[in-house]
Amino acid sequence: MRLVFAALPPRWAPCCDRAMSHSSVAARLGLGLDAGGTATRWLLVDDQGREQARGEVPGFSATQLGTVQQPLLNTALRELGTALRSQPRPARVYAGLTGFDGRADDAPGALHEAVAQALDIAPAAVTLISDIELACRATFAPGRGILVMAGTGSIAAHLRADGTIERAGGRGSLLDDGGSGYWIAREALRGVWRREDATPGAWQSSGLARALFAQIGGDSWARTREFVAGATRGEFGALAAAVARAARAGDADAHVILHRAGIELARIALALAARCGAQPVALAGRVPQLDERVVAALRGALAPGTAVTLTHTDGARAAACLALGIAPPLAA
């Protein structure tokens, strides 16, 4: 399937001059993309790994291709092309994408072509991997650790020494995503409304309920139902911040939920450790930063002596380095 996208403003040499341009002015630049549902971060580096330019455009995911959400993908790629218009053309592009299930050595497909068209390069110069694999490559050397990512969703991954990726969790909010922001928000709202079933008006004496209702804009069931029906996954998961606020204010129910979140995240790390051997664990994403109880519970549930670090991965930098075959700087 070949997709046709709206024409982008010309910015580099025409296609007939592509080979000459690649071998001269921009042959030593690599472009890295870290694309998620919220934002796409991009970074250009030279062949020494030195940053040349950086920016951010709307997010997109591999799951949007060929669906009713394809216009969002088209818009994000169009804005990416516009953002890079004033930059030299990169020799290669390396991208980590949410929802991408292929391998780095896959032959160029429709998504490769879409990215390539936006950037006016050949599809063969585009390498795509999943966002979780990119995060692993930005965190540990192959075979050296387990990464647990907990934002709106949750997943654990280990990059084996041979370059294959092992995963646990990441099943989505409908099935699991235990310990994620979405999971925390869902558990909190569920508990509040179950208590209301037993004791109507109980929310008024609950710091957790008041924090949740303040964030969604009302204390009625009608308002909760409207919020749940209309919120995006990210907006729903953002309610985890209200749970953290309630916990800091001393709410016992919020304490329990955050402790359970840490146990859930430990579960997927332990699942990988059982398959791949004992490994240091790095925690990334917004959830570990919500409250120290999450991290403390995870530490307590792991095998004694397991090294645990909180980390922030720069996926765009890792991708840009990988585009040129340079070992990326590691966060852990």
Q: Could you tell me the pTM of the whole model?
A: 0.82
Which token pair is 146? 């387990």
Residue 217 and residue 168 share a domain: yes
Q: Is residue 161 predicted with pLDDT exceeding 50?
A: yes
Q: Is residue 91 predicted with pLDDT exceeding 90?
A: yes
Residue 287 and residue 154 share a domain: yes
Q: Is residue 55 predicted with pLDDT exceeding 90?
A: yes
Q: How confident is the model at residue 298 (pLDDT cuts 50, 70, 90)?
A: very high
Quick one: CA dihedral 81, 47, 131, 329, positive or negative? negative
- Over the stretch 222-262, which tens digit does the pLDDT of each residue have? 999 999 999 888 889 999 999 999 999 999 999 999 999 99
Helices (H), the chain: 18-23, 70-83, 110-119, 131-139, 181-198, 207-216, 221-230, 233-237, 240-248, 252-276, 287-290, 292-301, 315-323
Q: Does residue 228 contact residue 236 with C-beta atoms inside 8 Å?
A: yes
What pLDDT does residue 10 have? 34
The whole-number average pLDDT for the span 201-211 is: 97
Residue 166 and residue 70 share a domain: no
The whole-number average pLDDT for the span 1-21 is: 36
What pLDDT does residue 19 have? 34
Residue 297 and residue 150 share a domain: yes
Establish if 3 belongs to a structural domain: no
What pLDDT does residue 251 have? 97
Q: Is residue 162 predicted with pLDDT exceeding 70?
A: yes
The whole-number average pLDDT for the span 96-108 is: 87
Residue 268 and residue 201 share a domain: yes
Lowest mean pLDDT among 3-12, 19-28, 196-205, 264-273: 3-12
Residue 148 and residue 128 share a domain: no
Q: Range of 273's domain?
A: 142-301
